[in-house]
C-alpha cells in the first residue's frame, strides 16, 4: 500500500525512529544482563524494544527468574539510560529533514513509551523540536495500548483514522494500529517484520522524502 496523499496529522515515535537512543538503551540493558550472569543479543533485545522502562524491567526480571526484582531492575535501568542520554544522542538519518518537511504541511507530534525526561533529553540532543510531545506517564496505559496515539491525535485535534504514525517496533506498531492510524514502519532491528501499512529502511528513503514534500491535510 502506498502512503496517503492526505493526512490530518503525523505522529512519530522517538527512540530508534527519530533519535539513535536504542544503542544507549542496549548498552544499559546488556550491562544489567551481565550483572545477572546472562548474555545479551538480538533475541534478548527483541524482548525489550518498544516497551516502557517498567515493562522492560519486568521482562528482564522474568527472564532472570527473579520477578520480585522488577522494581530494583527498573531503578538500575533508569540510572544507566540516564547516563547514556547525558552523553548525547544523534538524530537518525533523515529524521530532521523529514520532520521539517512534514511540519510545513500538517501538524506533527511525538508519542513515546519512554519517561518524559528521557524523551525531552533525546529530542533536545538530536536537535528536534515538537510542540506536542507525549510520554509514557501521560496516559494510564502506555504502548501497546492505543492510549498514547489517541492522546496525540486529541492534542492535535485530528481523529486517529486521519493520522499517520511512524514506528520502529512491534510494540509501537500495535499501539498505533489499535488507535486506528495508518502505520508506517521503519524497523530499528534487522530481521523484525512489522505489521504495517508501509515499510521503509530509513527516514531518508527517497520515497518518504518525496511524500513529505506533497502530503496535505
* Residues 93-131: b if buried by 16+ CB within 10 A, e if exposed: ebbbebbebbbeebbbbbbbbbbeebbbbbbebbebebe
Q: How far apart are CA 82 and CA 172, in angstroms?
A: 22
Mean residue pLDDT of the chain comes to: 96
Report pLDDT for 83.
Answer: 95
Report pLDDT for 202.
Answer: 96
Report pLDDT for 189.
Answer: 87
Please tell me the class of the 9-21+89-212 domain. alpha beta
Written as tens digits, the pLDDT of the chain (217 aa) is: 689 999 999 999 999 999 999 899 999 999 999 999 999 999 999 999 999 999 999 999 999 999 999 999 999 999 999 999 999 999 999 999 999 999 999 999 999 999 999 999 999 999 999 999 999 999 999 999 999 999 999 999 999 999 999 999 999 999 999 999 999 999 998 888 899 999 999 999 999 999 999 999 8
Report pLDDT for 1.
Answer: 61
Supply the pTM of this predicted model: 0.92
Neighbours of 178 (CB within 10 A): 16
Instruction: Identify which of 153, 181, 157 has the alpha carbon closest to the alpha carbon of residue 167.
Output: 181
Domain residue spans in the chain? 9-21+89-212, 22-86
Asked if 145 and 175 count as a contact pair (C-beta separation under 8 A), the reply is yes
Q: How far apart are CA 205 and CA 209, in angstroms?
A: 6
pLDDT 10s digits, 68-112: 999 999 999 999 999 999 999 999 999 999 999 999 999 999 999
Tell me the Cα Rg of the chain.
17
- Give the SS3 label for residue 53: helix
For 142, phi then psi, to 5°, come to -75, -175
Report pLDDT for 192.
Answer: 86
Q: How far apart are CA 80 and CA 29, in angstroms?
A: 8
Amino acid at each position: 500500500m502506498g502512503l496517503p496523499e492526505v493526512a490530518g496529522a503525523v505522529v512519530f515515535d522517538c527512540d530508534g525512529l527519530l533519535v539513535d537512543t536504542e544503542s544507549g538503551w542496549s548498552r544499559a540493558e546488556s550491562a544489567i544482563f551481565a550483572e545477572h550472569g546472562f548474555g545479551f543479543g538480538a533475541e534478548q533485545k527483541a524482548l525489550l524494544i518498544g516497551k516502557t522502562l517498567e515493562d522492560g524491567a519486568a521482562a528482564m526480571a522474568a527472564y532472570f527468574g527473579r520477578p520480585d526484582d522488577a522494581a530494583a531492575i527498573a531503578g538500575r535501568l533508569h540510572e544507566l539510560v540516564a547516563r547514556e542520554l547525558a552523553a548525547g544522542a544523534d538524530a537518525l538519518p533523515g529524521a530532521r529533514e523529514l520532520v521539517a518537511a512534514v511540519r510545513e504541511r500538517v501538524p506533527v507530534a511525538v508519542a513515546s513509551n519512554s519517561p518524559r525526561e528521557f524523551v525531552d533529553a533525546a529530542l533536545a540532543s538530536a536537535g528536534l523540536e515538537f510542540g506536542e510531545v507525549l510520554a509514557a506517564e501521560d496516559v494510564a496505559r502506555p504502548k501497546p495500548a492505543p492510549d498514547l496515539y489517541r492522546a496525540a491525535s486529541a492534542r492535535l485535534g485530528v481523529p486517529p483514522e486521519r493520522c499517520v504514525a511512524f514506528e520502529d517496533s512491534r510494540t509501537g506498531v500495535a499501539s498505533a494500529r489499535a488507535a486506528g492510524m495508518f502505520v508506517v514502519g521503519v524497523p530499528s532491528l534487522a530481521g523484525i517484520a512489522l505489521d504495517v501499512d508501509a515499510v521503509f529502511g530509513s527516514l531518508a528513503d527517497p520515497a518518504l522524502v518525496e511524500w513529505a514534500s506533497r502530503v496535505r491535510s
